[in-house]
Structure formats: structure tokens, C-alpha cells
Amino acid sequence: MASIQANKRLAKEYKNIVSNPPPYITAAPHEDNILEWHYVITGPPETPYENGQYHGTLTFPSDYPFNPPAIRMITPNGRFKENTRLCLSMSDYHPEAWNPAWSVVTILNGLLSFMTGDEQTTGSVSSSDRDKRILAKKSRHYNTYSNFKFKNMFPDLIDTNIKYMEREAALEAESKGKHQEENKAHKLATEKATSLDDISDPEDRVRLQELIKAEKDKKVEERNVGDNSNFKSVLCLVLAITIFFVGLIMK
């Protein structure tokens, strides 16, 4: 149970956070226990955590601010073990280093700074930047559908996350479609250039172009008939081109 001083201090800090939220950080106490705080860190730009969403907890002692909280991160992140007490200078691992003037914002800013560095400590893990980026991309999905504490503490962020993921999925699908079309167009242009550039006779080039066009028109027409018709069309195209090149060789 929180002391009167701890209750008063944490209530004041929450009021300050609401009126002046720090960059990349959201934090709030549990409605039934002011000593249990939940935070959300949004990964800063130009880091492997960019646009990631990291939920964790601060568990304060009853005599706060005279002793520091336990710090944990719940969302998989590639930097810290999930649901594990972290050994940091502002955590309960080092009460001798604690300064009562420090606040929730001080603690979370320190956590964010340590997270974006590469120093190791108890509770940290090693992973590549690529793995961190993959986890950052998956973090909102995890929080929204697998992290029940997050859903209870930050219901407004659930709706925000769903809209964000839908928007990202649409952009990814659009980008993938454009990429496939570009590859298809490039492949077709390369194939045409290869077959036509090998022919120096202008009349032969014209005949081959007409042959390719005719077979393409036939394929479009036969596509409505069924898969069997498509197979015959391809077979005819291969046979026609083979006869054409045999004719060139026989010249």
C-alpha cells in the first residue's frame, strides 16, 4: 500500500505527464494501484526501433520517492528480456544510486536512452538491428492481440493500432503490386528486346512482331474459353516461333 507521500507524489507526476507529455513516452498508473505504472515507448526515428511500440511496467515501492521502482518491458523488443527486472542506475537494482528528485519521466527517458544504446546489463539481450526492426514491425500487433495488460491499460491505443496496421498493410500491398508490375514489364521488355535485336533483316523483324502480336491477341481471346485453350495457345506460339527461326537458319 502506498504511503501518503508516495500517493501524493505519484498523483502529481501523473498530472504533469498528462499536461506535458514527454516525446515518445506515454505513462499512467493502474486505476486500482497507484504504485503500479504502465508505460508505452514509441521507437524514435533513425533507430532500429522506429515506429515500434513497447509496453512495460514500473513497480514503485511504498516509500517512493525515497527508493526506486522495478522496471520491466513486456513487448518483445530485441533489447531486453520480456517481463524481467532490468538492472539500471534508476531501478531497484541500485537503490544506492537513486536520487529522490528523479521522477517517472526521468526514469523513462533514462530507459529510452539505454534502450537505443548498446551497453549490456542484467535483463538485456543481444540481437541484430535487423531482428530489432522485425520485432518493431510486429510490436503493435502483439500489443493489440496478445498483450492483455496493454489492452486493459490503453484501450484508446487499440483503435489507433488497428487503424495504423490497416494503413500499413494497404501501403505494403500497393507497393508489392507496383513492384510486381514493374518486374513483369521489365521482363517482357527484356524478352522482346532480346528476340528482336537478334534479327537484322527489317522484314524479318516486322514479321516476328506481327507474329507475337497475333499470338497475344489469340491468347486474350482464348483466355475466356478455359485453361485448355491457354495451353494450346502457348503451344502454337512456341511452334510458330520455332518454325520462324528454322526458316531464318535455312536462308
Which amino acids are annotated catalytic? 87
Residue 228: left if φ>0, alpha if ψ -120 to 50, beta else—which one? alpha
Residue 78: left if φ>0, alpha if ψ -120 to 50, beta else—which one? left
At residue 42, what is the residue type?
T
Residue 66: partners with Cβ closer than 8 Å, 6 or more residues away: 100
Angle between helical axes of 104-115 and 4-19 (0-180°, round to 10): 60
CA-closest candidate to residue 106, choices 118, 117, 95, 114? 114
* Residues present in the chain in total: 251
Angle of CA points 39, 44, 45, to nearest 5°? 160
Angle of CA points 67, 75, 73, to nearest 5°? 15
Q: Look at the block and give the residue holding cell 518493431.
A: 136
Helix, strand or coil, per DSSP, at residue 9: helix
Q: Are 105 and 21 in contact (CB under 8 A)?
A: no
Alpha-carbon distance of 171 to 182, in angstroms, equals 16
